[in-house]
């Protein structure tokens, strides 16, 4: 499994993601600068968490228009996978590669804690950390109905921390090759970090198409 992590100015989880993917796949990911115009031939592209462009204008907006994004669109068109975590999820929605939008948390405060999630596809429960200020997922009623009908809800919060519609913590595109998540699975891969290893299950299930 070959992978690449896109690095934006303001990314702060790119190395965490790279270490997690190396641990899971056994292959060290390539680090790709956001202004590169050629994407290596890989199976997975990861958009990491952080504060791309300092969250100016709106979280993920400026990153969604960088030079690497046309390559990521071509990557998706080939049926290959993209994982966006936290700010990466915001970038995917701003680029209209996933439905919906992320806005300020309902309580207007940064939230950093462990949360329990239900895998909407299989019903399993997993625990992972969140760390975001703009994680409230929004989608209009018709879009939400369409997303649910298509099986596009990936994960739901068991105790919704940010006011997301339908308790949604993560969504797929129509072909389930693109996954956006507000929680951080890459932080729950190494047991030495003390946050469990459910993040490894989440990433592996996405890579394996489960």
Residue 205: count other Cβ atoms within 10 Å of its Cβ. Answer: 18
Q: How many C-beta atoms lie closer than 10 Å to residue 93's C-beta?
A: 23
- The pLDDT assigned to 58 comes to 84
Checking if the pLDDT of 84 tops 80, the result is yes
Q: Using 50, 70 and 90 to split pLDDT, how confident is the model at 56?
A: confident
The pLDDT value given to residue 209: 82
Let me know if 186 is a catalytic residue: yes
Rounding to the nearest 10 degrees, give the CA dihedral for residues 6, 7, 11, 12. 90
Q: How far apart are CA 86 and CA 72, in angstroms?
A: 18
- Higher-confidence position of 53 and 168: 168
Of 86, 94, 132, 136, which one is the catalytic site residue? 86
- Predicted pLDDT of residue 154: 97
Site of tokens 């300020």: 104
- Listed in sequence order, the residues at least 6 apart from 162 whose beta carbon sits closer than 8 Å to its beta carbon are 105, 106, 107, 111, 130, 132, 135, 136, 137, 182
H, E, C per residue of 113-181 = EEEEEEECCCCCEEEEEEEECCCEEECCHHHHHHHHHCCCEEEEECCCCCCCHHHEEEEECCCCCEEEE
For residue 120, is pLDDT > 80? yes
Task: Tell me how far CA of residue 34 lies from CA of 44, 99, 100, 175, in angstroms.
Answer: 16, 22, 23, 25
Active site residue 184: yes
- CATH number at 69 reads 3.40.50.880
* Structural domain span for residue 112: 3-207
Q: Which of 59, 75, 136, 186 is catalytic?
A: 186
Structural domains in the chain (count): 1
Paired residues of 11 in beta bridges: 50
Of the pLDDT bands very low, low, confident and very high (cuts 50, 70, 90), residue 144 is very high
Cα pseudo-dihedral 113, 114, 115, 118, rounded to 10: 150
Name the residue with tokens 């890579």: 207
């Amino acid at each position: 499994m070959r992978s690449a992590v896109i690095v934006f100015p303001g990314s702060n989880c790119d190395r965490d993601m790279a270490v997690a993917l190396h641990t899971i796949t056994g292959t060290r990911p390539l680090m790709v600068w956001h202004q590169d115009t050629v994407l290596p031939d890989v199976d997975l592209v990861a958009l990491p968490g952080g504060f791309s462009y300092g969250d100016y204008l709106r979280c993920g907006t400026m990153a969604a228009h960088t030079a690497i994004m046309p390559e990521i669109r071509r990557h998706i068109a080939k049926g290959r996978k993209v994982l966006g975590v936290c700010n990466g999820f915001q970038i995917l929605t701003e680029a209209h590669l996933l439905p919906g939008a992320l806005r300020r948390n309902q309580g207007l405060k940064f939230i950093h804690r462990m949360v329990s999630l239900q895998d909407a596809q299989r019903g399993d429960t997993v625990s992972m950390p969140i760390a975001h200020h703009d994680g409230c997922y929004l989608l209009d009623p018709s879009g939400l109905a369409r997303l649910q009908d298509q099986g596009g809800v990936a994960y739901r919060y068991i105790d919704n921390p940010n006011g997301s519609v339908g308790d949604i913590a993560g969504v797929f595109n129509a072909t389930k090759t693109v996954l956006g998540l507000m929680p951080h699975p890459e932080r729950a891969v190494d047991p030495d970090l003390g946050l469990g290893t459910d993040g490894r299950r989440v990433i592996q299930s996405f890579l394996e198409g489960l």
